[in-house]
Amino acid sequence: MKDNNVELLKEKVRSHYKERCVLCGSRSRIVHEIDPKSKRPEDWSEFSNMVILCAEHHEWVHTVGTAKCADMLRAAVNRSSK
């Protein structure tokens, strides 16, 4: 996906989640992929694979490993959409 399209997607994700971390609700503009690009090379940049994380949770997910946190992030998305 071209850089301009990625930025448009990120703005759409920020708007959808009202710039709130899906894990704690803190304000944030950090867009993070649920499944890493290495696991979904063709479609990693789809809207359904993107969430907002605060700086603390973003750092934590990268420390633990994005792939290991994917199920937890999907569950958080499901909770937030109810």
When divided into structural domains, the chain yields a total of 1
Q: Is residue 58 part of a domain?
A: yes
- State the pLDDT at residue 56: 98
Q: Is residue 59 part of a domain?
A: yes
Q: Is residue 54 part of a domain?
A: yes
Q: Is residue 66 part of a domain?
A: yes
Q: Is residue 82 part of a domain?
A: no
Q: Contact 28/21 with Cβ under 8 angstroms?
A: yes
Give the pTM.
Answer: 0.88
If DSSP codes are grouped into helix, strand and coil, which group holds residue 42?
coil
Give the Cα separation of 79 and 65 in Å (integer).
22
Full pLDDT tens readout for the chain, 82 residues: 566 788 999 999 999 999 999 999 999 999 999 998 888 888 888 999 999 999 999 999 999 999 899 999 999 999 877 6
Residue environment code for 7-46, b if the CB has 16+ CB neighbours within 10 A, otherwise e: eebbeebbeebeebbbbeeeebebbbbbbbeeeeeeebee
Q: Is residue 53 part of a domain?
A: yes
Which domain, by its residues, includes 69?
A: 3-77
